[in-house]
Structure formats: C-alpha cells, structure tokens
Structure 1
Amino acid sequence: MTEKDFVPSAHYDLKEEGKVGFKSPSNIALVKYWGKKKNQIPANPSISFTLDACATKTTLAFKKLKSRGTNFTFDLLFEGKPKPSFAPKIETFFGRILTYVPFLLDYHFVIETSNSFPHSSGIASSASGMSALALCIMEIEKELNPEMTDVYFIQKASFLARLGSGSACRSLQGAIIQWGAHAATEGSSNLYGIKYPYAVHEIFKNYHDTILLVDKGEKQVSSTVGHDLMHNHPFADQRFAQAHKNLTKLKSVFKSGNLEEFIKIVESEALTLHAMMMTSYPYFILMKPNTLEIINKIWAFRERSGTHVCFTLDAGANVHVLYPENEKEAVYQFIKNELVVYCQNQQYICDRIGFGAKRLNVS
C-alpha cells in the first residue's frame, strides 16, 4: 500500500447529518518509537501491547454545510466542557488528512471526547484519542461508501491516526501491534500498524499492566518536541539500529515464552528511551524520584520472589508494571504493599492486554 491508495477514487453522495462513535484504547510500547521523519514516518519500528481499561471515548456528530467551506469548522468538548487548547491539534490533523478525507470541508463537526485516565501524563492519551477520532472519520466514510472492505477500513483508519499521533496507529486493534518497516516482519509498514503476524506463546496472551500514577500532571516536554530532538541526536543511529535488533529478538521470545529475555528487552527499551531524552540537546528528564524508587523496588522483588514482573515507561514519569496472569496474585500484593505509596495520591490503574477499539451505540 502507498499513500495514494488512501485517496478516494470516486465522489460520494454526502449525507445531511449523522453521529458516530468509538471507544479506542491506549497502548504501551515494548520496543519504543522515538524520532520521526516527514509526514509522521517513524525513524524506527515499534511494537506494543494494546491496553483495555485505559481508553478514550469519542463521538463525532456531523451536519452538512450549505456550501463547501474553505476552513474546517468544529466544536470540541473534552469531558463535557469546551477545550480550546485542543483545537490547534485537531486543525493540524484535519489539514494533514484532507487529501484522504475530502468531505471534512463539507461538514460542521461536534467532537465529544473523554478519557478513562489522566490526559498528558504519559499514558499515550494522544494515541487513544487520535485513533478514536480517526475511526469515527472512517465510519462516516464507510457510510458514504458501504462497499469498503473491513481490511481497507482498518488500514486507512490506522493510516489517518498516524497522521494525528504516531503511536495512535497502534491503538486500533490488539493484542500485539507492530508499526514501522522492519526487514524481518512480513507486511510491516511505515504507513500503518499491523497485527503482529507470528506465533505468540500463551503466557503473553493475558498479560497485565498496572500503571502507577507517579505524576498526573502534564509533561514538561511534549512528545512532539522530544521526537524532533532526535534529528541531531549524537546517538540516534545507534538507537534506531537497537530498535530493529530488539524487534528481531522479540520474534523468538514471543514464540518461546522466554520471560527472562522479554524482561531484558522491555526494560532496556524503557531506559534507552529516557536516556535519549537525557542526552539530547536541550536535554530533559521526565522521570521523577519516585519513578526510580519504584524501579529499584521491582528489581529487588523480582530477585527475591522469582517472579517475572518488570517495568516499562512511556514519555513520562508513570511506571507500567508488566506481569503474566499466572503471577498476578503475588505481584499485585507486592504492588499494594510496596509500590502504591510512591504514587500521587496513591492512585494507580489496573489494566491488561486488550483487543482493540469498539464502535459505540450513539443512536
């Protein structure tokens, strides 16, 4: 597939009005995406677990304008209230996808969205939010073109979501999604995410992710700025090569269920992500003291308990504690006894691997 395959080949009769909705999950990257090229093309491939509880619900109401506009027209409500600060990002997103979704200038939209988790705190709210919006837009297109196949629907939705937020293209399906061209992965693409196409051991099919909310505030440096700092980063080439190697290693890990190797890759990826932030210019640190306390507690508990608990981090201070279903009782008790104290207001989210977005009944 190329970008041209997502440009409509026919003119559709437009509906007068309607409303669609989707609930789309966040995701947690195991091999991290950090650094991008023009048009939201990733500098390296990534792979993620789709989550379940951490999700965004978005409805998109649309009403046909009397005549096609020259500017985008929409209202946006976040958790029931106007959110003007979101408008520029939506404007940018619509501008990027207009070639592929020309009807955006034919409607006034009302976007209503809400999260089940704190916004801008390192739980990939842009991933769930932009994927939900992209799915809503594609649902409108499918109503205009009922012959559209399900495969095309999901590929184009992922393609559009990527143009809003790179990691959003990994949030439409589950349970393991890969994004970015990778020589050892058949069907991989820089344009959209794909379901991981190879064998996955049973141990990975019910994985848990308890997210410790160390800091619920907005990050001091946005992911967009962080990605841009990779352009002249002294270690960028080595990092991109490392991501390719780790993705190749995961193929045998997923097949065999080798949790020791899984832990090495996942924790190394998390620490490398933050090392890139600390060694860019300007440099910045998103981890907090309690982030490090939690990491050290996890290492100590894993050594004394023999469990396979591990951590990963996104671009923020919060810690994702990953562990298999068959160890959930011991690990969850450890989390409550030793880790929750390091969370802001002792807040955390119990999540697990999920299977993708769902349509909302908005009739």
Structure 2
Amino acid sequence: MLSETDFIANSISSDIYQGIFTWSAPSNIALVKYWGKKQDQIPANPSISFTLNNCKTITKLGFSKRHFDKLSENNSTFSFDLLFEGKPKEEFKPKIQKFFERIEKYCPYLKNYHFTIDTQNTFPHSSGIASSASGMAALAMNIMSLEKELNPEMSADFFYKKASFLARLGSGSACRSIKGAVVAWGEHQEIKESSNLFGVAFSPELHSVFHNYQDTILLVDKGEKQVSSTVGHDLMHNHPFAEQRFLQAPQNLSKLKLVLENGNLDEFIKIVESEALTLHAMMMTSMPYFILMKPNTLEILNKIWKYRNETKIPVCFTLDAGANVHVLYPEQYKNETLQFIKDELVGYCQNGQYICDEIGFGSQLILEN
C-alpha cells in the first residue's frame, strides 16, 4: 500500500531544460457521492464515478529551466503564466498557486521551471459543469510527464497513481478523472487497491450494458452556485446526519459494485437516484442549510420518473452539487431517450442547452504534429 511519502520525488536521475506536453482530462460524474472531507483532501467516505468522454479540459504545459541570479533573484517562488483559451486569465492564478503550494512537497523540482499553462474546455465556460476536476487532472498529467522525463525509470503504474494523487490535492474529485471508465476513490474493503490518496480503476469486468453508457447533461442553471462545494463539504463536520451518511455510502458502494458486474439496471437506478437525492438532502439539512436544486430540476426528475414508469425504459438521473441533471441510460435506448429529452425536458434547460456525453476512459496524451 502506497503512503504519502512514497510520492515524494527525492532523486532526479535526468535533466530537461525545456519542452511542451499536452493532455486532455475528462469530467466525471459520481454515482456514489463523496460529500465531506478531512484534512489534505482526504474523503470522509468512498465514492465511485463514471468517467465522461466529451466534457473535458485540454491543457498545454510549456516549461523552461529558470536561471537564477544570486544577487537579484531566488527560487523561492513559483513562476507561471496562465492562459485560458489562449488569453491571460489572472483570476485563475491563485488557484494554481495554491495547487503548486500543496504539491511542492511531492514535486520539489517545480520552482526550477517557468511554466506556461494554456487550458481550454470542450464544454461551454460557466455552463454549470464543474471544470475543477478535469482541469486539475489535466494539469497533474502534464506535471507527471515532466517528472517522467526527470525520472525515466518510473513505472506506468506509479505515473498514473501519482498523477491521481496530485490531482486530488487540487480538487478532490479530480483524482477520478485520470484513468478508467469507472473509478473508485476512498478506502473500501471490497475494492482492490482502493485508497484515500488516489483513485483506482474499477477492476472487475464491467457488465456489457454499461459499455458506452450514455449521459445527457441538462443545463438547468448555468449561474454560479450560491454555496461552493468547498463550503458544502466543510458543513459536514458538524452535520446531524453525517455519521449515518458515512456508513451509508460504503454500503451503497458494495451494492453498486455487484450491479456493475451483473448489469441489474433496476438496482442501478435505485442506488444512483437515491445517492443523488441523499447528496442534496445533506445540503438541505446542514447548518446553515441551502438548496442548489431549482424548480426546473424537480420538474425534470418527475418527468423522468413518469417516462420510466410508462415505457419501462431504464433511464434514470443523477445530480451534481448544483441544479443540473445527468440523464443516464444504456446506449441501446439512445434514440428514444434523446427524443424524450427533446420533446419533454429541453424546455426546462437554460436557453434549451444540453450536452450529449457517454462513458469515457480517462486522460489522454495529445501528440503535437
């Protein structure tokens, strides 16, 4: 079992003066939710997610060795420029600065380089889709590509585990966007090699019904949330139902593990929808309490229940920490489900916007021509 100290890059066996890497990393949507965390981005309960395919961040990392003048300059600061869609984005820099500060212990070479971070999303900015997970995952992959150049003997297994470990320190759920179609994060006795420090790909055979599983994301409200996820996580510390929730999540993960293997969609629907509503129940019963769902969110949920009851098509929903609805369904029902969405659900979306996505496979290195 790897510990935090195993991720400290103690020795550099090679050197590199400049270069560019580009990685894409996807968003993910949790099926069993993580809500509440301990110090250093450690989850209060295990979670498991579908990796998405189309909603992703693409980040190019340029780097060059810094030359220090002993009289006028020292290497006590991080040096980086941040571009979003090719243009400087100063308001994003504090988050990257904080990320570098958190990971410096494990990547002590960072201050030796000046970085140019150029990032973009394949989904609309301010769409209500969280970009912190995909963004931090893509940046972590680029940093690990640099570290791989500095330590060429690094194994592929360690490369991906440390990338997930670093991504987690930027945004907890980012550790689930590194590798795998289905990724578990948090210690669980039935998940092989599971860890609080990084995400692990679901290792049993995924039932064929979940291959190319569809996720149509209904953009109900694209405004900024009135309560951030960070604040929401913190409110679990004194939550009256926290203890019960932290017992419930691993039990639901055990049930879902079986479902992912046997393809029982009735059970899948019960677990996933219950988890989504439990997440929001935790928000509504914290102190202070808050509601991130909108009236149109509830209208959509009721429409999905009605449609499923009438047609027996196994379409269900999950929710993120916001108003948007992820509509989940097997690929074989894609045509009729999309027609249902267009006919009955799009009217509840802001500006009629929705995004068609499906289960993906994690981060990818983009090779420059």
TM-score bin (small chain): over 0.9
1:217-296 equivalent positions in 2, closer than 5 A: 217-296=223-302
Are the aligned partners of 1:35 and 1:44 in contact in 2 as well (CA < 8 Å)?
yes
Are the aligned partners of 1:209 and 1:350 in contact in 2 as well (CA < 8 Å)?
yes
Greater shift, 158-167 or 250-259, is seen at 250-259
Q: 1:195 aligns with which of 190, 201, 224?
A: 201
Partner of 1:64: 65
Greater shift, 309-318 or 197-206, is seen at 197-206
Are the aligned partners of 2:128 and 2:223 in contact in 1 as well (CA < 8 Å)?
no
- SS state of the match for residue 18, structure 1? strand
| Runs of 5+ consecutive residues of structure 2 not aligned to the other structure | 69-73
- Aligned counterparts of 2:124 and 2:44: Cα–Cα separation in 1: 28
Q: Which runs of 4+ in 1 moved over 6 A?
A: none
Are the aligned partners of 2:14 and 2:149 in contact in 1 as well (CA < 8 Å)?
no
- SS state of the match for residue 291, structure 1? helix
1:111-150 equivalent positions in 2, closer than 5 A: 111-119=117-125, 121-150=127-156
- Aligned counterparts of 1:201 and 1:17: Cα–Cα separation in 2: 44
- Aligned counterparts of 2:4 and 2:311: Cα–Cα separation in 1: 50
- Aligned counterparts of 2:170 and 2:128: Cα–Cα separation in 1: 17
1:314-353 equivalent positions in 2, closer than 5 A: 314-353=320-359
Are the aligned partners of 1:30 and 1:269 in contact in 2 as well (CA < 8 Å)?
yes
Partner of 1:79: 85
- Aligned counterparts of 1:300 and 1:250: Cα–Cα separation in 2: 24
Are the aligned partners of 1:180 and 1:193 in contact in 2 as well (CA < 8 Å)?
yes
- SS state of the match for residue 188, structure 2? coil
Shift of 1:122: 4.4
Shift of 1:293: 0.8
Q: 1:311 aligns with which of 282, 294, 317?
A: 317
Partner of 1:300: 306
Partner of 2:44: 43
Shift of 1:80: 2.1
The two structures have a TM-score, normalised by structure 2, of 0.96
Shift of 1:200: 1.9
Are the aligned partners of 2:12 and 2:150 in contact in 1 as well (CA < 8 Å)?
no
- Aligned counterparts of 1:328 and 1:101: Cα–Cα separation in 2: 44
- Aligned counterparts of 1:311 and 1:175: Cα–Cα separation in 2: 18
Shift of 1:195: 0.7
Deviation by residue 1:59-107 (Cα, 9 ceiling, x = unmatched): 1111111126101111111122222221111111101100111111111
- SS state of the match for residue 322, structure 1? strand
The number of residue pairs the alignment matches comes to 363
Partner of 2:71: none
- SS state of the match for residue 102, structure 1? coil
Shift of 1:11: 2.8
Shift of 1:199: 2.9
Letter in 2 for 1:255: E
1:158-177 equivalent positions in 2, closer than 5 A: 158-177=164-183
- Aligned counterparts of 2:261 and 2:14: Cα–Cα separation in 1: 48
1:17-28 equivalent positions in 2, closer than 5 A: 17-28=18-29
| Runs of 5+ consecutive residues of structure 1 not aligned to the other structure | none
Are the aligned partners of 2:14 and 2:152 in contact in 1 as well (CA < 8 Å)?
no
- SS state of the match for residue 100, structure 2? helix
The two structures have a TM-score, normalised by structure 1, of 0.97
- Aligned counterparts of 2:127 and 2:84: Cα–Cα separation in 1: 16
Letter in 1 for 2:114: H
- SS state of the match for residue 8, structure 1? coil
Greater shift, 86-95 or 157-166, is seen at 86-95
Shift of 1:283: 1.4
- Aligned counterparts of 1:144 and 1:306: Cα–Cα separation in 2: 55
- SS state of the match for residue 332, structure 1? helix
Are the aligned partners of 1:184 and 1:248 in contact in 2 as well (CA < 8 Å)?
yes
Are the aligned partners of 1:60 and 1:109 in contact in 2 as well (CA < 8 Å)?
yes
Are the aligned partners of 1:291 and 1:318 in contact in 2 as well (CA < 8 Å)?
yes
- Aligned counterparts of 1:355 and 1:344: Cα–Cα separation in 2: 29
The answer to whether residue 102 in structure 2 is matched with residue 101 in structure 1 is no
Partner of 1:33: 34
**What fraction of aligned residue pairs are identical, expressed as a percent?**
66
Shift of 1:194: 0.4
Letter in 1 for 2:143: I
